[in-house]
Amino acid sequence: MDVTLFLIFALSAVACGVNVVVQRHPITSAISLIGVMGSLAALYLLLGGEFIAAAQVVVYAGAIMVLFVFVIMLLNAGSETKGGRSWPVRLLGIPLLVLLLGILSFIIQHFAPKTEKVSFGAFTSGGPRDIGKLLFTEYLLPFELTSVLILIAIMGAVVLARKEID
């Protein structure tokens, strides 16, 4: 049951991820990226992260991706024209990416414990109470700093996107 659920959401995440990279029009990539985030939220639930799964759906898929879709529709971004890439890129691109994936997978296989298994329900400290307990004691400084960061980001976005009043 765990394996079935993991495979369903993992395959849907990879399929949507491939779709993000491959599609010509950015709006299709944005919708596929929402699919990736939804599948990842389900995987976080399988790993016991209830708060992070909810935050993923609300913040990532519900705010950031909506912002992306707004901007894509605002700019009326059309399909990408076939750009001319130089022949070394065309030749070495995919093999080098496969090499990167191979190196990462080898390192993971080497260092991941062989007997560790993830079963649904084994990790119970992912709820809001445990996250809050740690967030407001040990990680209080980063928490306050992120509020300053968000303020700076708001100011930056307003300054960059405003209309010049001449």
Range 39-98, binding other proteins (CB under 8 A): 40, 43-44, 46-49, 51-52, 55-56, 59-60, 63-64, 67-68, 71-72, 74-75, 77, 80-81, 83, 85, 89, 93, 97
Q: Which residues contact 125 (CB under 8 A, 6 or more apart)?
A: 48
Binder among 8, 91, 139, 140 for other proteins (CB under 8 A): 139
When asked if residue 135 is in the footprint of other proteins (CB under 8 A), the reply is yes
Instruction: Quote the least distance from Cβ 83 to other proteins, whole Å.
Output: 4
Number of residues that bind other proteins (CB under 8 A): 80
CB of 87 to other proteins, least distance (A): 14
Q: Pick the binder of other proteins from 86, 87, 95, 112 (CB under 8 A).
A: 112
Residue 142 found at the interface with other proteins (CB under 8 A): yes
Q: How far is the CB of 134 from other proteins (least distance, A)?
A: 6
Strand, helix or coil for residue 145: helix
Transcribe 17-48 into DSSP letters: HHHHHH-SSHHHHHHHHHHHHHHHHHHHHHTT
SS (H, E, C) 66-102: HHHHHHHHHHCCCCCCCCCCCHHHHHHHHHHHHHHHH
10, 47 Cβ separation under 8 angstroms: no
